[in-house]
Amino acid sequence: MFLINFTRMKKFIFTLISVLITLEGFPQTPYKDALKLNLNPEGTHYFQAILLNQVWLRFNESNTGTLAQNAAAPNTFDIGLRRTRVQLFGQINDKVFIYFQFGQNNFNVQSNTNGNRKIAAFFHDAVCEYKVTKNNSLKLGAGLTIANGLSRFSQPAIGSIMTMDVPVFAQSTVDQTDQFSRKLSVYARGQVGHLDYRISLSDPFPITTNGSNLPSISNHATFAQIGNKKQYQGYLIWQFFEHESHTTPYMQGTYLGKKKIFNLAAGAISQQKATWRKSGNDTIYDNLALFCVESFLDLPLNKKKSTVISAYVGYFNTNYGKNYLRFNGIMNPANGNNIAGLAKDAGPMYGNAYPMFGTGQQVYMQVGCLMPKFKNKNQGQLSPYISSSIAKFNRLKNTTTLVFNAGINWLIQANKTKITLDFQNRPNYLVFENDVITEKSRKSTVTLQYQISF
């Protein structure tokens, strides 16, 4: 009976699709937009789907004392899904735009080890946007959104980034008081002349709902577990050449020579009483104040050869409260350590984690190029890159935190199909409850990524 029902359902679905694409006013879309359905003959009203999957194969030198499933793990090899996403969006009419994104992040064998590994996917975005003006000068939106203040890398279009991964520290409260950098917000954004702007009022999630064990209040700032103030964000870009894409709030990693871009930008995020700490017998609340200035270049060099130079530099001044510090490891391949006395308020120090967020200052830089196409153009192009972040966090006193990445993309079909090989070198810190800080050595990670996005 199940097979019969399934067959009937399949025939019904194919029949429905065939009817839709042959109706007058719903012309069949060309191959380049195979998942796009036009809602009017001109194609100005449409609904589109984008699918993305990033698979990682990774070898990691583990931090000191690392455990994986209670066994010593001086190094690890893991296979994981860095990001798996489904995006659904469309310009429903001249004024109304809607955007959804559903998926999961950081899914490997350590995912949900304290619960159910089948609980992973969730809504990243659910946004309604209204176009007030005929051009892009003013759009008003609301919902669960990544429209953000601090930096272009606080709201990155993941499928188009030049490096294998983004500088996650720019997503300043990621998975703490947001949903992987998304917050419930109302915002205004637009482009007026050379100026691209966005401002938003956000309602951060309580830290108590992030699904992790929370540290006890200590002498160092952590996100407050009592109270919940609103968050204010703003981001301004001065575009010297062409305008950046403006369909969604997400910001492109590289245009692969399709646009000539040079920008200067500044962004800020503020929130009152965002963190708390102990001072004697008193509870002190600190304000969150984050600021960034940055520049982005994405410049075609030779259109005939399809070569491009892309570069970014950003300065981040981040005040989360007194001595705030957070270790984080992307899709951490481990889940514990065997060293006693580590500072619990600084997060996990095992696996591939390093001090990623903190009160202090940080500079991030990246540069890369798109090389000429192979003689057989169907083989795509190579795109090498290097990136580094240099941070001075107050709690780490006179220590400089340096993380370095180098890699190469093989763009088989632009960003729709690409393979990336990435090497990372990072510090191996231990921070103890008595604030003794040691750096035992430096550790490295080699990752092979296969991305499909269409």
Residues 302-322 have pLDDT tens digits of: 999 999 999 999 999 999 999
Q: Give the span between the Cα atoms of 439 and 63, in whole angstroms.
A: 10
Q: What is the pLDDT of residues 249-278, one digit of tens each?
A: 999 999 999 999 999 999 999 999 999 999
Task: Please report, to the nearest 10 degrees, the dihedral formed by the alpha carbons of residues 359, 365, 167, 294 taken in order.
Answer: 70
Whether pLDDT at 168 is above 50:
yes
Whether pLDDT at 33 is above 70:
no
Q: Would you state the pLDDT for residue 20? A: 36
Q: Would you state the pLDDT for residue 433? A: 93
Q: What is the pLDDT of residues 318-352, one digit of tens each?
A: 999 999 999 999 999 999 999 999 999 999 999 99
Whether pLDDT at 51 is above 80:
yes
Bridge partners, residue 57, by sequence:
79, 448
Q: Would you state the pLDDT for residue 2? A: 34
Q: Is residue 155 part of a domain?
A: yes
Total domains present in the chain: 1
Which two three-digit tokens encode residue 254? 């590289």
Q: Give the span between the Cα atoms of 17 and 348, in whole angstroms.
A: 49
Q: Is residue 309 part of a domain?
A: yes
- Dihedral class, residue 216 (left if φ above 0, else alpha if ψ from -120 to 50, else beta): beta
Q: Would you state the pLDDT for residue 111? A: 81
Q: Give the span between the Cα atoms of 161 and 164, in whole angstroms.
A: 7
Q: Would you state the pLDDT for residue 4? A: 40
Q: Would you state the pLDDT for residue 378? A: 83
Question: What string of H, E and C letters represents the secondary structure of 205-268?
Answer: CCHHHCCCCCCCCCCCCEECCCCCCCEEEEEEEEECCCCCCCCCCCECCCCCCCCCEEEEEEEE
Q: Give the span between the Cα atoms of 141 and 98, in whole angstroms.
A: 9
Of 195, 267, 284, the C-alpha closest to 231 is 267
Bridge partners, residue 279, by sequence:
282
pLDDT band with cut points at 50, 70 and 90 for residue 164: very high
Contact 327, 401 (CB under 8 A): no
Q: Is residue 224 part of a domain?
A: yes
Q: Would you state the pLDDT for residue 30? A: 42
Across 381-410, average pLDDT: 96
Of 284, 292, 422, 430, the C-alpha closest to 353 is 430
Containing structural domain, residue 351: 36-49+87-401
CATH code, domain with 40: 2.40.160
Q: Give the span between the Cα atoms of 8 and 190, in whole angstroms.
A: 47
pLDDT band with cut points at 50, 70 and 90 for residue 8: very low
Whether pLDDT at 292 is above 70:
yes
Whether pLDDT at 296 is above 90:
yes
When the pLDDT of each residue in the chain is averaged and rounded to a whole number, the result is 92
**Residue 171 or residue 5, greater confidence:** 171
Q: Would you state the pLDDT for residue 28? A: 39
| Burial of 142: CB neighbours in 10 Å, binned 0-12, 13-18, 19+ | middle
Whether pLDDT at 25 is above 50:
no
Percentage of residues in the chain having pLDDT higher than 90: 85
